[in-house]
Amino acid sequence: MADKRLSITVPASSANLGPGFDSVGLAVNRYLTLYIDRADEWEFFSNSSELSGLPNKEENLVYQAAVAYAAEYEVELSPCRVEMVSDIPLARGLGSSASAIIAGIELADEMGGMHRSKEEKMQFASGWEGHPDNVGPSLYGGLIVGAYGEEKTHVMHCGVPDVDLVLAIPDNELLTKEARGALPSELPYATAIHGSAVSNVLVAAILKEDWKMAGEMMVRDVFHHPYRADMVPGLEEMLSGIRQYGAYGAALSGAGPTILCFVPNGKGEEVKRAIQEDYPSFRIETAKPAPFGSSVHYVNQPAWVSSSV
Ligand SMILES: Nc1ncnc2c1ncn2[C@@H]1O[C@H](COP(=O)(O)OP(=O)(O)OP(=O)(O)O)[C@@H](O)[C@H]1O
Ligand SMILES: N[C@@H](CCO)C(=O)O
């Protein structure tokens, strides 16, 4: 394997889909890719604008996840030089941190010769995040419905929704920690029952491919939308008016501030243009569900690596 280097690719994700708070998540076709070589000390670097300013040594999240995962199985990792390429915007609600955690786990698994199962990786990753709705899609691809448990996280892979996605991405970052800080510590019993009923209908509608019903449920979340609306200017207006643009529905993507729209297959570009016209301060992009989760390959060295040695 001397002339090959390890490459790990991990998709982005959109957690919650509205009412499926901390449980439902969809893989999205934006990707973090790592190119890894053994080295004398740990080093992370990237030319991707999306990743500028990240720590380049042991403070890097990929390193922290890799080392913690290896330690869980009493494996010691040798240092690596890691090049990162990404088109997942940081702290925008598209699971950048989960992609980094899964990348770290895959790095440790391969470089440490651990070869653990997906279930073991999932248990560790959801324990790290405290919920499976971002790490699940990044690991498995497609749509994931999960319930976190310290002993066991139960996860169902529910296929790949046959819809287009439109992402409304604001300019500002919103850290998950901050967006979770806006949530109440308790919900009235009746509100929780209503919220869970809406989430049940959302999942049933997705499984039955009733996208109109799924879209209707997405906007009806009571677990987090109402508490995060102040942090995301335009959220309430976009959720209530999204159907006039031809979308099925919309929800805050993860902890925000991106807004994710479910759109009829083939209509993504049209809906994107219509939303962009009315919301010039957002970057509006089309996307698709990512069918596959993280993947690990060995690839040929790029020319600059061999020429610099
Ligand atoms: N490739 C990466 N390498 C190292 N650290 C990263 C990487 N990607 C993300 N991070 C870290 O994760 C932070 C963002 O995580 P955060 O959970 O706040 O948002 P998110 O994961 O993008 O969105 P959400 O969890 O709402 O889907 C970044 O500020 C950075 O510290
Ligand atoms: N379910 C999580 C996803 C972001 O990590 C939240 O909304 O806070």
Q: Is the pLDDT of residue 212 over 50?
A: yes
Q: Is the pLDDT of residue 75 over 60?
A: yes
Instruction: Classify strands 283-287 and 164-169 as parallel, antiparallel or unpaired.
Output: antiparallel
Tens-place pLDDT, residues 121-179: 999 999 999 999 999 999 999 999 999 999 999 999 999 999 999 999 999 999 999 99
Any ligand 2 atom below 6 A from CB of 133 = yes
Using CA atoms, how far apart are residues 218 and 236, in angstroms rounded to an integer?
A: 12
Q: Is the pLDDT of residue 309 over 50?
A: no
The residue whose CA is least distant from atom 26 of ligand 1 is 93
* CB neighbour burial string for 42-53, b if at least 16 within 10 angstroms, e if fewer: bbbebeeebbee
> In the prediction, which pLDDT does 182 show?
97
Minimal CA–CA distance to 168: which of 268, 101, 83, 70? 268
DSSP assignments along 120-152, one per residue: HHHHHHHHHHSSSTTHHHHHH-SEEEEE--SS-
> How many Å lie between the centroid of ligand 1 and the Cα of residue 97?
3
Cα separation values, 30 from 48, 78, 88, Å: 13, 29, 6
CA of 260, nearest ligand number: 1
pLDDT category at 302 given cuts 50, 70, 90 is: low
Length of the chain in residues, anyone? Answer: 309
Please check if 98 is assigned to a binding site: yes
Fold for domain 4-158+291-308?
Ribosomal Protein S5; domain 2 (3.30.230)
CA of 97, nearest ligand number: 1
Residue intervals in the chain for CATH 3.30.70.890:
164-287
Alpha helices in 95-208 (DSSP H): 96-111, 118-129, 135-140, 176-181, 189-207
Fold for domain 164-287?
Alpha-Beta Plaits (3.30.70)
Q: Which residue has the tokens 């243009």?
A: 273
pLDDT category at 300 given cuts 50, 70, 90 is: confident
**Mean pLDDT value of segment 58-83:** 97
Ligand 1: nearest atom to the Cα of 176: 18
> In the prediction, which pLDDT does 2 show?
57
Please check if 93 is assigned to a binding site: yes
Any ligand 2 atom below 6 A from CB of 126 = no
Residue intervals in the chain for CATH 3.30.230.10:
4-158+291-308
Whole-model pTM: value is 0.96
Instruction: Determine what percent of the chain is predicted with pLDDT higher than 90.
Output: 94
Any ligand 2 atom below 6 A from CB of 14 = no
Any ligand 2 atom below 6 A from CB of 62 = no
Using CA atoms, how far apart are residues 273 and 117, in angstroms rounded to an integer?
A: 43
Interior angle at CA 163, CA 157 and CA 168, nearest 5: 105
Ligand 2: nearest atom to the Cα of 97: 5
**Mean pLDDT value of segment 61-74:** 98
Return mean pLDDT, the chain.
95
pLDDT category at 307 given cuts 50, 70, 90 is: very low
Report DSSP state, residue 289.
B
Q: Is the pLDDT of residue 200 over 50?
A: yes
